[in-house]
Amino acid sequence: MSTHELYTIPADLRTWDVQMAGSARFTWEYDDGRDRMLALYQKGKDKQWDSVKRVDWGLEVDPYDVLGIPDETIAIYDSPLWHRMDDQTRKEVRRHGAAWQFSQFLHGEQGAMICSARIVESVPDLDSKFYAATQTMDEARHAETYARFLQEKVGLAYPINPHLKSLLDSTLSDSRWDMPYLGMQVLIEGLALAAFGVMRDITTKPLPKQILAYVMQDEARHVAFGRMALRDYYAGLSEAERREREDFVIEGCWLMRDRLRGREQWEALGLSKTEVEEAHKLVDESRYLKLFRSLLFSRIVPCVKDIGLWSPRLQQAYVDMGVLDMAGQNLDDLMRQDEEIAEKLDEERFAKEEAERAVEVAETIAAATSD
């Protein structure tokens, strides 16, 4: 089935052409490079996995209860609009909400794959090219995984959100080699990683939990890669160059914040124009979504500070967004936690499978003996 048959609203084009600028850079320095970068590259090679084999696709998913979380997390819950809806419409609200969220994850992963390939092309250092090549494969696997989840388990998809599309356009069309790092590794990946984390920790359903945990295990390394490369480079920027990057970060963060409103899903539900506006207002006022939006900057803000973009005006922008307190998050601790959760999930899952096989073997032996 074509993905276009799953879209709730028509995608503008089957392909989106972004005019890219800049140079492809070769280097003739094949020396070992930076130890930390090469260690990250080795880890990237060691941690490759196959989504066909690692993810348990046999698990059932209720498309009307994808994450198994309380309705209190829905922005319009317990409002007059919610109470006017019948049970089937509320089920569709749940389904469309999950479809919209995972669709943006999917489109973001394709964007990350293209940005990673762009980094391989444009970054001047060979050790960075090595790591970005492993990340390109990671992102391809993530896009494959989210596409399969939407097609086989949810049966519904959304085109790319205009705010995400705008940030990807700005990131890819910039000729400076560091901008794919800043736009993708810091902003888009940082926000996605936090979103994955919130959903991984609250879902009660095993299949989305597996997917989110395994993807996060990779994404944590990607953000570390961006931090490492940009911290070294930005230390030598002029004041004017630093200001240009800060402008990009500020604009990108507002775009990402606005993206989270998910206005398209209310329009696709068949609500009246008045009801759509009512839903938009409830989204803006939702206490849960305000907290969710704040948590989504838990990876971006400390990363921006870590790479050296931390002027008073950038800090003021984060005050205006209500996320400045996220600067105290420890990214290394969060990365270790992401690794441990994925590994523990594997251990528990495969231990359970081994125990079930042992019981099956024992029952088979007992049956044969009794015969």
Which structural domain range is residue 45 located in?
3-10+34-331
Let me know if residue 196 belongs to a domain.
Answer: yes
Number of domains comprising the chain: 1
Residue linked to tokens 């389904």? 95
Q: What is the distance between the alpha carbons of residues 348 and 133, in angstroms, rounded to a whole number?
A: 31
SS3 category, 35: helix
Q: pLDDT at position 9, please?
A: 67
Residues 6+ apart with CB under 8 A from 344: none
Q: What is the distance between the alpha carbons of residues 103 and 161, in angstroms, rounded to a whole number?
A: 9
Let me know if residue 264 belongs to a domain.
Answer: yes
Let me know if residue 370 belongs to a domain.
Answer: no
CATH no. for residue 86?
1.10.620.20
Contact 204, 69 (CB under 8 A): yes
How crowded is residue 270: how many other Cβ atoms within 10 Å of its Cβ? 10
Let me know if residue 359 belongs to a domain.
Answer: no
Q: How would you class 351 by CB atoms within 10 Å of its CB: exposed for 0-12, middle for 13-18, buried for 19 or more?
A: exposed
Let me know if residue 175 belongs to a domain.
Answer: yes
Let me know if residue 371 belongs to a domain.
Answer: no
Q: Where are the beta strands (DSSP E) in 105-226?
A: none
Let me know if residue 355 belongs to a domain.
Answer: no
SS3 category, 157: strand
Q: What is the distance between the alpha carbons of residues 356 and 8, in angstroms, rounded to a whole number?
A: 41
Let me know if residue 25 belongs to a domain.
Answer: no
Q: What is the distance between the alpha carbons of residues 178 and 332, in angstroms, rounded to a whole number?
A: 22
* Residue 157 bridge partners (DSSP): 7
* Residue-wise pLDDT tens digits, 146-194: 999 999 999 999 999 888 888 889 888 888 889 988 998 899 888 888 8
Tens-level pLDDT at each residue, the chain (371 residues): 677 778 776 776 667 777 777 777 788 777 766 788 888 889 889 999 999 999 999 999 999 999 999 999 999 999 999 999 999 999 999 999 999 999 999 999 999 999 999 999 988 888 889 999 999 999 999 999 999 999 999 999 999 988 888 888 988 888 888 998 899 889 988 888 888 999 999 999 999 999 999 999 998 888 888 888 899 899 999 999 999 999 999 998 988 877 667 788 998 998 999 999 999 999 988 888 888 878 888 899 999 999 999 999 999 999 998 899 999 999 889 889 999 999 999 998 888 776 667 666 666 666 666 66
